[in-house]
Chains A and B, each alone.
Chain A
Amino acid sequence: MNWSKKSTAFNSQYQHKKPGLAFFHIDATLLALLVLLSIIGLMILYSAGQGDNALLVRQLTRLGVAFAAMVIIAQIPPYTLRRLSPILFILGVGLLLGVLFFGDMGKGAQRWLNLGFFKFQPSELLKLATPMMVAWYLSDHHLPPKLKHVVFAMIFIIIPTLLIAKQPDLGTSILIASSGIAVLFLAGVSWRIIITVMVMLAALAPALWSVMKDYQRQRVLTFLNPESDPLGAGYHIIQSKIAIGSGGTSGKGWMNGSQTQLDFLPESSTDFIFAVFSEEFGLIGCIGLLSIYVLIFLRSIYISIQAQDTYSRLLAGSLAATFFVYLFVNVGMVTGILPVVGVPLPLISYGGTSMVTLLIGFGILMSIHTHRKLLSS
């Protein structure tokens, strides 16, 4: 197998010359941007929580855990990750099936696996395991992938996507599907296949509609016409648009957003936290915030281009793309151009599990970047 050869090459040398962050396999640029984003996130959360210190402390704890996880993962060399890929994927799918049969019901959706001492969402594992699996599978073959390999890769993507959509967690399943598709795309799947699949998906849309749960359909209908149900499902999106729109160019000021502070904006500290930011900091603030996200994306893409093997490249590129999809779906739904699917704003929305997963993803990126052999530079 040729991958073993590659791995020995990776094994041989590390970049030791510069002491400091790089020594700990940390990418300083990425870390700075992520910390900056987290600080902004805590500030918005403080406002969204209307000055609730306890909320802030809990979020800070989670951030600590997530950043620690990132640092730990960054120490693992990419070839180890690569070897772990199929195992993690199979474990993840197994756990998903476990959720199906033994999962806790929360908000009418089956997502959590109660392991006794803590609750765990297998879908979070698959957010990483799926692109890892596809990257592992494709990097094992000649690229661009042949149709046979594309079909297999698609199966690896579809299995977790469907299992998670069935929980139902549309947001996560969209993210997982995009992470897998991103790998395929970056691997160079021919445009002909891409277009064919898109046409097929469009044809499948009615079938998808019939599989969706009532509340998911309602979300789509509400997205198409939020004013049809101003007090029910459309309330979220209407209030969110009011918050953003009334923010104007420069915003109402920190802690001064009436939509947020007077509780008109629902889910203000979780999925709709971007509306809080928009209301209080206006368009100027939004451009600034989105720019940080784009910078993180650019740095990630840069890392992927700099990566030395196909697996790393594909995985890093997918992580970068997924990060942007995260942002786009969240801001898109908060501003009313996408249906409400329950995707948090990365690093800013209140909530633990997805943040840990996200930073582990950046840990992987850092690992890829910092474990390059001297030869490349």
Chain B
Amino acid sequence: MKAKFKIKDSLQENRTFLSRAVTLLFFVIVLFAILLSRLAYLQIETHKKYTALSLNNRVKLSVLPPVRGLIYDNNGVVLAQNNPSYTLELIPEQIDNIEKTLEALSKIIPVNEKDIERFNRKRLHSKRFSSIPLRSRLNESEVALFAVNRHLFPGVEVHARLLRHYPFPEITSHIVGYVGAINEKDLKKIDLVNYRETRFIGKTGIERSYEDRLHGTVGYQQTENTAQGRSIKLLDKIPPITGQDLTLNLDIKLQRIAYDALGDHTGSVVGIDTANGAIKVFVSKPGFNSNLFVRGISQKDYSALQKASNKPLFDRSLRGQYPPGSTLKPFLGLAGLEAKVISKNQKKFCPGYYQLPKQKHKYRDWKKTGHGATNIHDAIVQSCDVYFYKLAHALEIDKMHDFLQLFGFGLTTGIDLLGEKKGLLPSQQWKKDKYGTSWYPGETLIAGIGQGFNLTTPLQLAHATSILANKGIAHKPSIVSKIEGNIVRDNIEPTTNLSLNNPNNWGIIIAAMQDVIEGLRGTARRIKSKDYSIAGKTGTAQVFGIKQEEKYDEDTVAQHLKDHALFIAFAPVDKPQLAIAVIVENGGHGGSVAAPIARAIFDEYFESL
């Protein structure tokens, strides 16, 4: 009985089991269907998305920054170049323990807290597997030390990056300018794609003005990479296009001579080739070490440069605005002759001062005893103020303004540099607009000797001198002569073509200017040369404070109140080649301080020809 029961029981159990096994099978089929549909979803429905992600994983797009174009002087001397600079860089994703690595590294190569801080900051903002600089400017021995220990530091490498270098940092600091790290302001102006991997941008001078030429075009490279960031093969490459090389009209030898000739003075020298407007000399002193800015100038150095009373960062040649003083007289003389308020031989008496009709105020001549009866020639040679008071009074301010403007006064020259100042050429309308008051006759007199409201830049003065030297014909000043070896002449025709009512008037003024140097009583007779003839004009500008919106320290005020010494000149007189403007801040007299600087440049210029 028991056994019978047992068998029946077993059958029952068997049936139960079978039904459960079938249920299990059903579950399995459902789960299998879930797996299959999941796979189908991933591999068919979202296949494209994952293919893209897989490609994104595998293919690394690297940006290849272009090499910046070089800058040469007229004779092929390099003024701006790219030197390799060694940087210690880390790829955090390839390093197991960054803390330990940093600690071990610092035993070989000095790494300070700031470096690490900067590194950590950069790390937060970088993509995966990008190389993050830890320390820059490694020296040779540091590079060698790391090379020996390199196997100890996977994920750490020394990279050679190109760093801008200026072989003549001080004397070309303004004209060539410098590059610096791209800042927020720059970011708004640049094409972000083209500057993807670029770290520097031109900040001043040619580096800034020709940024788009010098920079070049970015390149790309696609490589197949492993998860560890190791490149396996090159898939595609668009090489970067190197920036264009610039050749300047500037002559570094002349530049050096001008810079040295200024001695301890602050000031500016601009020399222009009269034949084509080529800038041969463009000095602003003091200069500064422009290489400091490339490396990332320290706050301390920067504020020292900014606060220095002689303002080394200020480009005097392009942006310094000075009263032209007596250097304006030849132009005013020409204006007088053209307007026929004076004539070649007509003499005016100089008692040492001038008074406006019905006024007591005496407008003094620099020579207290007066020059006596003076014609235009002598008035320029000896820089007679009274003659020019009378001339100005007769001519009146608006005519002076209109005529002087023909020489570019009060206007930008259009030089191929950014940030040029246009000086100030006063007129009745100008004063009304600016101050809302009418013009006083006394102001005309002051303007007649290049003082008062008049302001010119050294570049303007040199340009005006070159117009005068060429008797009305001149080219726009230009600093870059060749881009990538191709001559840049956007205008072969002269940009200034002045014709006088009486062309003989040129000769009258130029003859007078020649006697400033070669005449017995010329104010610049000390620079007379046996080898070539020079025409020029000295100037001494009273200082009311340069318009630079900065305050001077009290102890420098005395020096600061000294007059500026000016000198304009061109040579040779018959066939002019070079026009020069020299301004020596607080230098005293133009003839004694400024003129010899011009002579030094002429000497070198004609000797090298």
Contacts and interface: CB of A to CB of B under 8 A. Distances in A.
Interface of A: 2, 142-144, 182, 185-188, 231, 239, 241-249, 258-259, 262-264, 278, 282-283, 286-287, 290, 294, 297, 301, 304-305, 310, 313-314, 317, 320-321, 324, 328, 331-332, 335-337
Contacts of A297: 28
Contacts of A321: 24, 28
B6 interface: yes
A262 B17 contact: no
A320 B36 CA distance: 20
Contacts of B53: 242, 245-246
Nearest to B12: A143
A188 B17 contact: yes
B51 interface: yes
A337 B34 contact: yes
Contact of A283 (B13, B14, B40, B228): B40
Nearest to B226: A262
A342 to B, nearest CB: 18
B31 A324 contact: yes
B13 A310 contact: yes
Contact of B38 (A287, A294, A313, A335): A335
B58 interface: yes
A331 B24 contact: no
Nearest to A243: B54
A244 B16 contact: no
A336 B39 CA distance: 10
A297 B13 CA distance: 22
A134 to B, nearest CB: 14
B58 to A, nearest CB: 4
Given A244-B39, A263-B227, 18 more contacts: A143-B17, A185-B23, A186-B21, A187-B17, A188-B17, A245-B49, A245-B51, A262-B57, A262-B227, A262-B232, A283-B43, A290-B36, A294-B28, A304-B17, A305-B21, A313-B14, A313-B17, A321-B24
B32 interface: yes
22 contacts: A143-B13, A185-B20, A188-B16, A188-B17, A188-B19, A242-B53, A245-B51, A246-B47, A246-B51, A246-B53, A247-B43, A248-B44, A248-B51, A249-B43, A259-B54, A283-B44, A317-B24, A324-B31, A331-B35, A335-B39, A336-B38, A337-B38
Given A305-B21, A321-B24, A283 B16 contact: no
B43 A2 contact: no
A335 B24 contact: no
A259 B52 CA distance: 12
Contacts of A286: 36, 39, 43
A233 B225 CA distance: 22
Nearest to A332: B35
Interface in B4-27: 6, 9-10, 12-14, 16-21, 23-25
Nearest to B9: A142
Contacts of A231: 128
Contacts of B23: 185
A355 to B, nearest CB: 21
Nearest to B13: A143
Interface of B: 6, 9-10, 12-14, 16-21, 23-25, 28, 31-32, 34-36, 38-40, 42-44, 46-47, 49-51, 53-54, 57-58, 128, 224-228, 232
3 shortest interchain CB distances as A-B pairs: A245-B50, A246-B54, A188-B16
B31 A328 contact: yes
Contacts of B224: 258, 262
Given A2-B6, A249-B43, A241 B50 contact: yes
Given A297-B28, A321-B24, A324-B31, A242 B57 contact: yes
A242 B50 contact: yes
Contacts of B57: 239, 242, 258-259, 262, 264
A100 to B, nearest CB: 32
A271 to B, nearest CB: 16
Contacts of B10: 310
Contacts of B35: 290, 328, 331-332, 335
For the residues of A in contact with B, the DSSP-based class is helix
A227 B84 CA distance: 42
Contacts of B19: 188
A311 to B, nearest CB: 11
Contacts of B13: 143, 188, 310
A143 B227 contact: no
A243 to B, nearest CB: 7
A245 B16 CA distance: 42
Contacts of A262: 57-58, 224-227, 232
Contacts of A305: 17-18, 21
Given A186-B24, A283-B44, A328-B31, A258 B54 contact: yes
A138 to B, nearest CB: 10
A186 B18 CA distance: 8
B21 A304 contact: yes
B133 to A, nearest CB: 22
B32 to A, nearest CB: 6
Given A264-B227, A290-B35, A294-B32, A249 B58 contact: no
A234 B128 CA distance: 16
Contacts of B24: 182, 185-186, 301, 317, 320-321
Contacts of A301: 21, 24-25
Contacts of B32: 290, 294
A262 B9 CA distance: 61
A185 B23 CA distance: 10
Contacts of B228: 263
Nearest to A188: B16
A244 B227 contact: no
A187 B13 CA distance: 8
A231 B32 CA distance: 31
Given A262-B224, A264-B57, A337-B34, A244 B28 contact: no
Contacts of B31: 324, 328
B47 A248 contact: yes
Nearest to B93: A231
Contacts of A264: 54, 57-58, 226-227
A221 to B, nearest CB: 21
Contacts of B47: 245-246, 248-249
Given A245-B42, A310-B13, A188 B20 contact: yes
Contacts of B28: 294, 297, 321, 324
A187 to B, nearest CB: 8
Contacts of B39: 244, 278, 283, 286-287, 331, 335
A317 B47 CA distance: 37
Contacts of A331: 35, 39
B36 A246 contact: no
Contact of B58 (A2, A258, A314): A258
Contacts of B34: 337
A135 B145 CA distance: 70
Contacts of B6: 2
Contact of A317 (B17, B38, B40, B46): B17
A317 B54 contact: no
Contacts of A259: 54, 57-58
Interface hub of B17, B23, B232 (most chain A Cβ within 10 A): B17
Contacts of B40: 283
A248 B43 contact: yes
Contacts of B50: 241-242, 244-246
Contact of B36 (A282, A287, A313, A317): A287
A263 B128 CA distance: 15
Contacts of A243: 54
